[in-house]
Chain A
Amino acid sequence: MSGRASDMPGLAAALRQGGPIALDARIDCAAGEILALVGPSGSGKTTILRAIAGTYRPQHGRIAVGGETWLDDSSGICLPAHRRRVGIVFQSYALFPHMTAQENVAAAMGHLPRAERPARAARLLDMVHLSGLEARRPSALSGGQQQRVAVARALARDPALLLLDEPFAAVDKATRQRLYREIVELRRTLRMPVVLVTHDLDEASMLADRIAVLHRGRTLQAGTPQEVTRRPVSPDVARLVDLHNLFEATLAEHRPAAGRSLIEWNGQRLEVAHAPGFAVGCRVAWAVPSGFVVLHRRDRPSRGDRENPVAGTIETMLAIGEMAQLSLRPHGQALPIRFAVPMHVAERNGLAPGVEAAVSLLAEGIHLMAPSDGAAR
């Protein structure tokens, strides 16, 4: 993202409607930035994308891209889809089946003189590594190749905004990894805002500069991947970003001098980073990413073990590649704490379901939130 690019006006959208699909979303994306819309299915991600592209008209809203207003219900502006300079990669790619790869790309070049289109289409196909396949119909291309044609077609219009609707959902894992690298490579040359819709948080964290978390048509939080995954604004967001270690406690004490606060949880006191925003005695929700849960190693005890020690029983252990995903149920607590250690550490420490173990919850990783009404934890 160059400085020049971020000076250009990007995308600013505010959409609101009661039904049939409830929306209350604010989406901002600077030029050159990739914003990921993350949320479970039915959270309105695709509807928001379609509203921005102009194939769906929300009841209320304002959409401006690159300083141009595409939608403003208060002044009656609603540009039809074909007049919005948008490039979109559909989840199913939506290539025109009766056209070759090159014709598909050239089909989005209505703004160029007819004579220039084939050469430019060929250049775009070359950019997405499809040289030699220009004359193939979509049915004769693999899923990954179709996705690249779709990307080339989306860029063919010189779009002021690029929209990617779950573009990696329909390809196998190996192809997906390759396409990720290509997107990362490609984005260096892109100067427009890019909105990526995905339900895969890892994908969003890897590709996006910022993440907007959506739930039932509402944007609950927007921020960098780290902010959103480590500092969710509410337990709802924590759940949506797969922060499973989510509990409730009471704020017990503030120790500003030590930069610490203490919370009372499960009959013990946990040290957390100083949180003056919460009054002593109030209920708080707290979460800790599994990366801040440290196993007390039998083979190598450390002084750090004194930090928020929690003892319990290993409930489940799942080997995923070289890592062991573990859940530890603290004594006197119904909900387990999840964490991961390398497989060899799990083996050396004799970890298995039913085995007693202890972990430390690192204070700087514990994040406090106001409890949500529905959270009964």
Chain B
Amino acid sequence: MDWSALWLSLRLGAFTVLFLLPIALFAGRALAYSDRAGKSVAEAVVALPLVLPPTVLGYYLLVAFGAASPLGSLWQDAFGRTLVFSFDGLLLASILVNLPFAIQPAQRAFEAIPQDVREAAACCGMTPWQAVLRVELPLAWPGLLTGLVLSFAHTLGEFGVVLMVGGSVPGETRTAAIAIYDRVQAFDEAAAGRMSMVLLALSLLTTGLAFALSRRTGRRRP
């Protein structure tokens, strides 16, 4: 059992969710309430990771993160670390890959708030910020949380992009999913089986949580 790989996966999931929370909040809300011409384009871009093969996505991220790229060299100058084959790069890739999982449920949750309820908040004298905090967030948070739980579960299971961008550096980029693959390659079926069982249990737990939360969203509607 490769505990360091599991710990790395959990850490990656936690950080991914932490960074995705504000992104999902703002992007989801903006997409829900915008009716600008560019909305469809933005929605398509957000949904892209769902349909793109992980290798394709991984390839472009590898190119974008490389020391020769502007982003890669900037990162190197700022933090003294490379993006490729590092936890930083893995995290950045994980955030991008999980955008649709986090943003789409958040967008649906904001869309489900009736327009007149939002207008009522303003007509009750609430400033836009107060309306978000006191009316929109309490109504939308189950949806937001659903998205974050899904992102977490998805991060635990992500394989292709991780392999392309991070490789399999123990303690740095070797996540549980990669470790299972390594174990199978080494004919260590017992270890692969144990780790698979742990991932299965974790995934079941998180998706169960996601469904429970989304049911709660449904109940909260007037």
Binding site for B on A (CB under 8 A): 50, 53-55, 80-88, 90-92, 94-98, 107-108, 110-111, 138-139, 153, 156-157
Set of chain B residues within 8 Å of A81, measured between Cβ atoms: 119, 122-123
24 inter-chain pairs at a CB distance below 8 angstroms, sorted by A residue, are A53-B119, A53-B123, A55-B122, A55-B123, A81-B119, A82-B122, A82-B123, A82-B128, A90-B116, A92-B114, A92-B116, A94-B114, A94-B116, A95-B222, A96-B121, A98-B139, A98-B220, A107-B134, A108-B125, A110-B125, A110-B126, A110-B130, A139-B222, A157-B125
Q: Are B123 and A111 in contact (CB under 8 A)?
A: no
Task: Tell yes or no: B78 within 8 A of A by CB.
Answer: no
Q: Are B125 and A94 in contact (CB under 8 A)?
A: no
Of all A-B residue pairs in the complex, the 10 with the closest CB atoms, nearest first, are A81-B122, A108-B124, A94-B116, A94-B120, A97-B222, A55-B119, A110-B125, A90-B116, A88-B123, A94-B117
| A contacts with B: majority SS | loop
Q: Are B220 and A97 in contact (CB under 8 A)?
A: yes
Task: Tell yes or no: B135 within 8 A of A by CB.
Answer: yes
Set of chain B residues within 8 Å of A82, measured between Cβ atoms: 122-128, 130-131
Set of chain A residues within 8 Å of B116, measured between Cβ atoms: 90-92, 94
Task: Tell yes or no: B221 within 8 A of A by CB.
Answer: yes
Q: Are B221 and A97 in contact (CB under 8 A)?
A: yes
Complex Cα distance, B120 from A138, in Å, reads: 15
Which B114-152 residues have C-beta < 8 A from chain A? 114, 116-117, 119-128, 130-131, 134-135, 138-139
Number of residues on chain B facing chain A (CB within 8 A): 22
* CB < 8 Å A-B pair total: 75
Question: Closest CB-CB distance, B135 to chain A, in whole Å?
Answer: 6
Contact A96:B135 (CB < 8 A) given known A107-B124, A110-B124, A157-B125: yes
Q: Are A54 and B120 in contact (CB under 8 A)?
A: no
Which residue among B119, B122, B125, B138 has the maximum number of chain A CB atoms within 10 Å of its CB? B125
- Tell which of A54, A138, A139 touches B122, judged by Cβ atoms closer than 8 Å: A54
Complex Cα distance, B162 from A180, in Å, reads: 66
Q: Are A107 and B139 in contact (CB under 8 A)?
A: no
Q: Are A88 and B120 in contact (CB under 8 A)?
A: yes
Chain A residue at smallest Cβ distance from B138: A98
Chain B residue at smallest Cβ distance from A55: B119
Given contact pairs A87-B123, A90-B120, A96-B135, enumerate 17 new A-B contacts (beta carbons under 8 Å). A50-B119, A81-B119, A82-B127, A91-B116, A92-B116, A94-B117, A95-B222, A96-B117, A98-B220, A107-B121, A107-B134, A110-B124, A110-B126, A111-B125, A139-B222, A153-B120, A153-B124
Question: Closest CB-CB distance, A343 to chain B, in whole Å?
Answer: 43
Complex Cα distance, B116 from A90, in Å, reads: 7
Complex Cα distance, B131 from A50, in Å, reads: 18
A interface footprint on B91-130 (CB within 8 Å = 1, 0 otherwise)? 0000000000000000000000010110111111111101
Which B150-171 residues have C-beta < 8 A from chain A? none
Set of chain A residues within 8 Å of B222, measured between Cβ atoms: 95, 97, 138-139
